[in-house]
Amino acid sequence: MAICKSHGQDSSYFIGWQEYEKNPYHPIRNPSGIIQMGLAENQLSFDLLESWLTRNQDVIQFRENGGSMFRDLALFQDYHGLQAFKNVLVAFMAEIRKKKVKFDPKNLVLTAGSTSANETLIFCLAEPGEALLIPTPYYPGFDRDLKWRTGAEIVPIHCYSSNNFRITESALEEAYEQAQKLNLTVKGVFITNPSNPLGTTMSHDELNILITFAMAKNIHIVSDEIYAGTVFDSPKFISIMEALIDRKLEKSKMWNQVHIVSSLSKDLGLPGFRIGMIYSNNETLIAAATKMSSFGLISSQTQYLLSKILGDRKFIKRYVKENKKQLKHRREMLASGLANSGIECLESNAGLFCFVDMKDLLKSNTFEAEMELWKKIISDVGLNVSPGSSCHCSEPGWFRICFANMSKETLDIAMQRINDFVKSNGNLRRNLQLPSVAAAAGSRRRRTIANWVVKLSSGDGRTDR
């Protein structure tokens, strides 16, 4: 396993970061450097958190009721987690789902980030060689998180821009049949809602199609909802649990076959603190996942701090509201900046990124051309963005561009650079007709990673989603 390559580290997604690290943009020290737009970080609301910390010095100093919590916390290693922390976590989960679902802390398992939550769920649900179906495009890290150590397989559910990458019944059935052809037992469908990289939330119809499918096949649904707190615009976010409740499935078998992954890395912008969690109504799964959480417990120091921050309900309400306002504003800056260059974003209402259509800038409708354009965007334009192919997108020409990990000034400069690039490369623009789905699927099969990419060493260590 130590020499196995299936961790996906060599993906262009990670390699772009390495290029960035070699020549990072800085407004004064390195104004011609690469601007990092491949990192789904939420840096927009740190001022709120920092002012909370200033007002609550006691908490970070472990002081409570006149005594010190240090000793108790230093010794606390119960894998059930701090009860006070779990109580406020489920309240937060309910809050960002508009209280449409009631969550019970006894159904929650804490994990060191959602990376660990996802792997733990797969260890619980699938034996080596069994498969999960995942809609494309999806977060590149899943190839590492879900497959590497568990031995499980991923079978893509191919989604296309023609219907804004929505999941359809036929796409689900096709993926299921594909798994059967490969002699893989399908254990579940794994969705990311809101989607990374699309920045969209799943519709009621989509969720219903998915639930009906899972019931018919008697398989599980894992819903990675780590971006639930970033939904900044309509349509509103519907959690898979809400969709189950709407269909009155609380007493059905399906109720125990649906599992949510959540995190504070995106909603609160705290990836460094490694706070992830699994929520499920399935007692057996919760018991097993709790035991497995020994392999990735959250520092009690951090559990304690966050139990206090989240426990300040008034503050959290304000934070979520302000943060969404900021995100919406940034999304608009990015979308209008790109529109000025004639580039369109997929309509979106969530996340820290847009999924951007650059098909018109491709030399040909292939993934090779996408890699070529990507290389040019890094080296000539000075932006690190993530090519759709790194997210297993089923058609070439799409890029994920992040907007919440930089200042407004930097975002403006990035937009200016794109504008200059499109202008000066007018001759590249081929005014292609939109490619047919069939043509795109064909070019997917011809996909190779450009040589220069694999020659790069893989030294970057971010766990980013």
Q: Which residues bind its own copies (CB under 8 A)?
A: 1-3, 7, 9, 41, 43, 46, 49-50, 53, 57, 60-62, 68, 70-71, 73-80, 112-113, 115-116, 119, 123-125, 127-128, 144-145, 148-149, 265, 269-274, 284-285, 287-292, 294-302, 305, 460-464
Of the candidates 395, 370, 392, 377, which has an alpha carbon nearest to the alpha carbon of residue 450?
Answer: 370
Looking at the Cβ atoms of 3 and 28, the one nearer to its own copies is 3
- Assigned token pair, 445: 């099969």
- Marked catalytic residue, from 143, 145, 224, 267: 224
CB of 456 to its own copies, least distance (A): 15
**Are the CB atoms for 110 and 85 separated by under 8 Å?**
yes
Of the candidates 298, 224, 221, 297, which has an alpha carbon nearest to the alpha carbon of residue 257?
Answer: 221
The size of the chain, in residues, is 465
Give the span between the Cα atoms of 162 and 274, in whole angstroms.
37
**CA geometry: angle 243, 145, 166, nearest 5 deg:** 40
In the chain, the N- to C-terminal Cα span, in Å, equals 23
**Are the CB atoms for 391 and 139 separated by under 8 Å?**
yes
Looking at the Cβ atoms of 10 and 372, the one nearer to its own copies is 10
What's the Cα-to-Cα distance from 250 to each of 211, 218, 257, rounded to whole Å?
A: 13, 16, 11
Looking at the Cβ atoms of 195 and 282, the one nearer to its own copies is 282
Instruction: Examine the residue annotation and report whether 104 is marked as an active-site residue of this protein.
Output: no
- Assigned token pair, 49: 């958190």
Instruction: Examine the residue annotation and report whether 266 is marked as an active-site residue of this protein.
Output: yes
Looking at the Cβ atoms of 28 and 75, the one nearer to its own copies is 75
Give the span between the Cα atoms of 448 and 396, in whole angstroms.
12
Instruction: Examine the residue annotation and report whether 78 is marked as an active-site residue of this protein.
Output: no
CB of 8 to its own copies, least distance (A): 10
CB of 262 to its own copies, least distance (A): 17
Looking at the Cβ atoms of 125 and 377, the one nearer to its own copies is 125
- Marked catalytic residue, from 96, 209, 226, 238: 226
Instruction: Examine the residue annotation and report whether 226 is marked as an active-site residue of this protein.
Output: yes
- Assigned token pair, 54: 């200033």
- Assigned token pair, 73: 């916390």
Residues 6+ apart with CB under 8 A from 307: 82, 84, 85, 87, 88
Q: What are phi and psi of 168, to 5 degrees?
A: -120, 165
Looking at the Cβ atoms of 265 and 341, the one nearer to its own copies is 265
Looking at the Cβ atoms of 148 and 160, the one nearer to its own copies is 148
Give the span between the Cα atoms of 329 and 333, in whole angstroms.
6
Q: Are strands 63-64 and 67-68 parallel, antiparallel or unpaired?
A: antiparallel
- Assigned token pair, 200: 């969209």
CB of 118 to its own copies, least distance (A): 9
Catalytic site residues? 139, 224, 226, 266
